[in-house]
């Protein structure tokens, strides 16, 4: 089994707000991230797939295909977008780094055929990242 990781960067804006909370609760729990006008990040995405090395190609996965899937499923949908308003998963769910990582996993894992998705790692900043392994 060999693990292969591909990175991609995208930039997006968001805000954290739960309509079930009072304005005070939203401010207390989400702090500056509750600013109603939103704010943005340069997200760094790391997608790790695993599989056996194909004896003919020497590949775990065709990198070109992986890149295309990541661009089509993730970057085209999220890059330079306001996540709360423009990405379907976040119309009714808060686009925290945790939830974005889960959404990216769900967008990718059914699309990968040759290799299996192992981990989605999403950096919101160089000091903060989330790993999702598809665990329930």
Among the listed ranges 36-44, 48-56, 70-78, 88-96, the one in contact with other proteins (CB under 8 A) is 88-96
Cβ closest to other proteins, residue 21 vs residue 59:
21
Kindly state the helix (H) or strand (E) to which residue 85 belongs, with its residue range: helix 83-86
128 binds other proteins (CB under 8 A): yes
From CA 33, how far away is CA 41, in angstroms rounded? 11
Using CB under 8 A as the binding rule, whether residue 31 contacts other proteins is answered as yes
Candidate ranges 15-23, 54-62, 63-71, 108-116; the one touching other proteins (CB under 8 A): 15-23
Measured distance CA(77)–CA(88) in Å, rounded: 9
Distance of CA 10 to CAs 22, 32, 77, 92, 94, Å? 32, 21, 10, 22, 18
- Could you list the residues that contact other proteins (CB under 8 A)? 16, 18, 20-21, 29-31, 93-99, 101-102, 126-133, 135-136
């Amino acid at each position: 089994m060999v693990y292969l990781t591909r990175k991609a960067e995208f930039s997006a804006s968001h805000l954290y707000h739960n309509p079930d909370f009072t304005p005070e609760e939203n401010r207390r729990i989400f702090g500056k991230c509750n600013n109603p006008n939103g704010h943005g990040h340069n997200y760094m995405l790391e997608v790790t797939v695993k599989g056996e090395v194909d004896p003919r190609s020497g590949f775990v996965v065709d990198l070109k295909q992986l890149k295309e899937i990541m661009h089509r499923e993730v970057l085209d949908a999220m890059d330079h977008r306001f996540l709360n308003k423009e990405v379907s998963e976040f119309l009714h769910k808060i686009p925290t780094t945790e939830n974005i990582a889960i959404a990216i996993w769900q967008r990718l894992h059914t699309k990968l055929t040759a290799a299996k998705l192992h981990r989605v790692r999403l950096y919101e900043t160089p000091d903060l990242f989330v790993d999702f392994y598809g665990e329930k």
